[in-house]
Amino acid sequence: MAPKTALLIIDMQRYFESMTTTALPNIKRLITHFQHTSSPIIFTQHGHTPDELSGKTSNQLVRKWGPNGSIAINSHAWHIQDSLQHYLKDTPSPTTKPSSKRPRIVLKNTYDAFINTNLQQILDEANVQRVVVCGVMTDCCCDTTARSAFNRGFETWLVGDACGSANRKQHEAGLRGFGFAFGEILGTEEACGRLGEEE
């Protein structure tokens, strides 16, 4: 029996729009495939609270990039990109029970989407055994979340042509590092093909 698979779409927010023009059509193709099979789709959304941005709490990313280089929750840049908004219609809040019929949103404030979130619980409740990771940035949140999934026992695919980063060098470095010691690097066509064979 094929492992139950979830699609993790990492941080496809307005803030990163310029980094994802090439990846976006492939992400949409993956979403369509997962919708067709009623498999879980989870979006992550990265952002920081006013307390984090003011320095009242010790968030390492805010310390690294500074308040002006960080994404404020509810800012214009924080929202999911406009071209993906229709996929999120009727999306349940982060506190409702998971459903394979509708995407979920997991709010996060670190590179790793498993830290300080309920992502593990969502995947466990849906009996997920494999995750397919795409989004932005390849060498930061995508790579870190994919490594964390691998380390937690999930079979993990990172879809190279459905990820984006600040430049090609960083993108390719993220793929190389993950592929060397962690899960598989696949293209969108190959990922959809493999999943299709399991249906």
- How do residues 45-96 score in pLDDT, each as one tens digit? 999 999 999 987 789 999 999 999 999 999 999 999 999 999 987 655 555 5
- Tokens representing 24 are 């976006």
Q: What is the pLDDT of residue 17?
A: 96
Residue 61 lies in a domain: no
- Residue 58 belongs to a domain: no
185 falls within a domain? yes
**Residue 121 DSSP label:** H
**Count of domains for the chain:** 1
Tell whether 52 is covered by a domain. Answer: no
Q: What CATH number does residue 39 fall under?
A: 3.40.50.850
Determine how many CB atoms are found less than 10 A away from the CB of residue 198. Answer: 11
Q: Specify if 24 maps to a domain.
A: yes
Tell me how far apart the terminal alpha carbons of the chain are, to the nearest angstrom.
10
Q: How many CB atoms lie within 10 A of CB 186?
A: 19
pLDDT below 70 — which residues of the chain? Answer: 1, 90-101
CA 14, CA 167: separation in Å to the nearest integer?
17
CA angle (92, 142, 79) in 5-degree steps: 45
User: By the 8 A CB rule, do 105 and 88 touch?
Assistant: yes
**DSSP E strands: which ranges in 27-129?**
41-46, 104-108
Of residues 107, 88, 84, 104, the one with CA closest to residue 96:
104
| Residues spanned by the domain of 11 | 5-45+81-198
pLDDT at position 55: 80
- 158 found inside a domain: yes
Does 50 fall in a domain? no
Q: What span, in angstroms and rounded, lies between the C-alpha atoms of 98 and 110?
A: 22
Q: What is the pTM of this model?
A: 0.93
> Is residue 21 situated within a structural domain?
yes
Q: What pLDDT, on a 0 to 100 scale, did the predictor assign at position 57? A: 78
